[in-house]
Amino acid sequence: MATTSPTVRTGSALPRWARNLALTLLILYIVLLVGPIAGLDAPRIWQSIAAEPKTLVQVALVGLANGSIIAIIALGYTLVYGIIELINFAHADVFMLTAFMSLTVLGAIGVDQKSSSGQIFVGVLVALVVAVLFGALLNASIERLAYRRLRNAPRLAPLISAIGVSFILQNLGLFWGGLRIIFPVMGVNAAAPKTFPQLLPEGILFQDGPIIFRQKDLIIILASVAFMIALRLFVQYTRLGKAMRATAQNRDAAKIMGINVDTVIAFTFLLGGGLAGVAGLLVGLYNGTIVFNMGLTAGLRAFTAAVLGGIGNITGAMLGGFLIGLLAAFSDVYFSSRWTNAWVFAILVVILIFRPLGLLGEAGGEKA
């Protein structure tokens, strides 16, 4: 026990570049060796692309649509991490519950694909408002109950607390899914995927062989991008947005500016939860099904997206979201859909080793 030490030995015999090179070769070796098992079979991939190049365009479109949703979830991770350096593991489960809330609201209003477009519009709008408010309040309550007391505790404590909350929320989702007596939309089986009404217009905007671009693809991408731009502007120009940036850059300095840091942190959770609400509704509408454990995959992808873009960086989270969406779509078609999560996870590991700051991350801290 006496020998355990948290510090990394720096006096290693190899220089840094040599260790990095060795590590790169090792990873390359593993990828080449194990890659084909996980679908990375370059000749086969090349053949199928050459045989039907248009499929690649379709893959890119699917990747962009899914990526835009991943990006919205990633924003929730990045906002919270940026401000209190906590990976909010419960975030993806907040997202899952907002999808359940959206479905419940749509079920209660009673809109389905047979309703008039006016009714659908109103129904979706109501579901959006409720899901956003629900996600925001849920996330802020989690902060208040599970994280705030631990703010000055060692960093592992709130992290473990977050994992615990994640489990609680998943079980809440399972419970919610079993309430068919109250919410008939939940169907018979609590754990089974729930069917969302098809409310987005399916009309085809563009078709060329395997390339199909539907109205709902466009709607998803536009809606996501609109929310991202709004968030970016909010953080850049509003008083509260500036207070968020100040708190993220230096909490003590923010306090002596007269900023109530507790309020700003609570607000950040509200904002992240609200965005999760947007994503929850969009995913339900776009994919057509939701399930109580969907936070797991969504969380892995969104978290990787946030890290890839540079955790704490809003633009980075958006960029990372689209890139991970593209990677996942590519892997689904050309590698093997069963291995897609493994590839996403591999990306996460590789970034953490070689560029922990991410693509757009800047070294933080105050330089003299």
Partner 1 sequence: MLELRDVQTYYGNIQALKGISLKVNQGEVVTLIGSNGAGKTTTLRTIQGLNRPRYGTILFEGKALETLPTDTIVRLGISQSPEGRLVFPRMTVRENLEMGAFSRSDKEGIAQDMERALNLFPRLRERLAQKAGTLSGGEQQMLAIGRALMARPRLLLLDEPSMGLAPMLVEQIFQTVIEINEQGTTVLLVEQNARMALAVADRGYVLQTGRIVLEDTGPNLLRSETVRKAYLGEH
Q: Which residues in this chain contact partner 1 in the complex, by CB under 8 A? A: 239, 242-243, 245-246, 249-250, 252-261, 362, 364-368
Taking the least distance from each CB to partner 1, the nearer of 254 and 270 is 254
11 — phi, psi (to 5°)? Answer: -80, 40
Using CA atoms of 26, 32, 37, 41 in order, give the dihedral in degrees to the nearest 10: 160
Taking the least distance from each CB to partner 1, the nearer of 9 and 367 is 367
Taking the least distance from each CB to partner 1, the nearer of 172 and 359 is 359
* C-alpha–C-alpha distance, residues 242 and 235, integer Å: 6
User: Token digits for 129?
Assistant: 């408002």
What residue type is assigned to position 263 of the chain?
Answer: T
Taking the least distance from each CB to partner 1, the nearer of 171 and 260 is 260
CB of 296 to partner 1, least distance (A): 33
Based on the number of CB atoms within 10 Å of its own CB, is 319 exposed (0-12), middle (13-18) or buried (19 or more)? buried
Taking the least distance from each CB to partner 1, the nearer of 125 and 253 is 253
Taking the least distance from each CB to partner 1, the nearer of 6 and 258 is 258
CB of 261 to partner 1, least distance (A): 8
Q: Which of these, 332, 261, 322, 343, lies nearest to 59 by C-alpha position?
A: 332
CB of 356 to partner 1, least distance (A): 18
* C-alpha–C-alpha distance, residues 178 and 166, integer Å: 19
CB of 250 to partner 1, least distance (A): 5
Report the 10 Å Cβ neighbour count for 270: 20
Q: Which of these, 215, 200, 68, 231, lies nearest to 128 by C-alpha position?
A: 200
CB of 11 to partner 1, least distance (A): 29
Q: Residue 7, Cα to own-chain centre: how many angstroms?
A: 31
Q: Which residues pair with 204 in a beta bridge?
A: 214
Q: Which residues pair with 194 in a beta bridge?
A: 290
CB of 30 to partner 1, least distance (A): 37
